[in-house]
Amino acid sequence: MKKELYENSKTYTIEEINSIVGGILNKVEENIKINRIASPVDADENTLALAFEERFIESLPHTKAKVALVPLGVSLDNISTIEVERPKLAMMKILHLFYVPPDAHTGIHPSAIVHPDAKLGNDVSIGPNVVIGRGAVIGDNTKVLANVYIGKFAEVKKNCLLYPGVYVGDCIEIGNNVIIHNGASIGADGYSFVTETPSNVETAKKEGKVGDDATQQKIYKVPSLGAVTIADDVEIGANAAIDRGTIENTYIGKGTKIDNLVQIGHNCIVGENCLIISQAGVSGSVKLGDRVVLAGQAGIVDHLEIGSDSIIMAKSGVTKNLPDKSIVMGTPAIPRKEFVKQIKNVKELDVVLKEIKKFKKDFDSIRESLNIENVEV
């Protein structure tokens, strides 16, 4: 990792680091000072080597590091170790020690456009080319980096961080401690349209076929009068899009983490502490319970309800409601155990086909010996 990322970091003793992660310290050498973290291959004498996987543990006898963070039960003679039960959790705590926040302008940058009726809290940072609309409210200690747009009557509460290029639409409500990454769109109009007569999609759903003549149909936009409410401690990834509701607000629950390139449609209600992974798509009016995991490239059909603690695996296509604690995969999504069973059955078909071909060969031989004609297998 580049030195510049550590320019404001301090040096820690291994005793200080161990007290933070709550591990088991096995010292080989005294007075070790740590000012960076890295893999064993990239480590020097002042580096805490992270060795969670077997391949990194195997490289520890050859590292220049004097101390390593390792899973429980890993102890070496040539290097001090800090053993921890949950290495990734310990890594998170250590990364916070060395984390350097992005540079933010002190006060309001001269190029920013802040409406006279907007209200800014204490210690707010407003970066270059930011636009803040009429009646918008920005809470204490919030950082709004370059080229962010915040619409009229939007509210961004305390201790938030909006990275460059974020769009926050009119009347959007964003809670405390929210992080929104580059290029995310919060509050674009919902994808909602209607035709004067039943559309091809409506006819196909009802009758199982496309209508006779839709050539003259005109598609009308349904205005989005609702907004978006983002609860506290939410993080939204780069280029994610969360659309405003038609009448009621689209809602994202407390503690939910949304990855890059995620689409959440109008009128959706997302529960608390959900994990929504890259390129997942949630159609309009879907309700997700608490702690739902929606893996990469999974999709959910509109107007469905997904129970709390459910896991929707990667590339799944959900077409019906799911009860609590469901684990589904495939398209259309089915319970994981059933999906695995089907895959096993498909693999066994090869064996069955070989047996059938063998049986047919034997039957043909018998038929020829008995001079039986016109019998097919």
Domain locations in the chain?
3-98, 113-334, 336-377
Distance CA 61, CA 215 (A): 73
Residue pair 221/192 in contact (Cβ under 8 Å)? The answer is yes
Predicted local distance difference test score (pLDDT) of residue 374: 54
Predicted local distance difference test score (pLDDT) of residue 201: 85
Take residue 293 and report the two structure tokens written for it.
């995991």
Four-residue CA torsion sign, 312, 315, 321, 327: negative
Distance CA 180, CA 275 (A): 15
Predicted local distance difference test score (pLDDT) of residue 377: 45
Predicted local distance difference test score (pLDDT) of residue 7: 53
Predicted local distance difference test score (pLDDT) of residue 376: 53
Tell me the residue length of the chain: 377
Which amino acids are annotated catalytic? 266
Domain 3-98 CATH assignment equals 3.40.50.1820? no
Judged on CB neighbours under 10 Å (0-12, 13-18, 19+), 372 is exposed
Predicted local distance difference test score (pLDDT) of residue 2: 53
Closest Cα partner for 188 from 171, 208, 211? Answer: 171
How high is the mean pLDDT in each 10-residue block of the chain (377 residues)?
57 94 92 92 93 92 94 89 95 91 94 98 98 98 98 98 98 98 98 90 85 82 97 98 97 98 98 98 98 98 98 97 97 93 84 78 71 56
SS3 content of the chain, % helix, strand, coil (to 5): 20, 25, 55
Pairing of strands 193-195, 173-174: unpaired
Closest Cα partner for 105 from 127, 87, 90? Answer: 127
Backbone angles phi, psi at 42, to 5 degrees: -95, 5
Give me the architecture of the 113-334 domain, per CATH: 3 Solenoid (2.160)
Predicted local distance difference test score (pLDDT) of residue 197: 86
- The stretches of the chain forming alpha helices (DSSP H) are 14-21, 54-58, 87-98, 200-207, 336-369
Take residue 295 and report the two structure tokens written for it.
């893996």
Instruction: Return the amino acid letter for 188.
Output: A
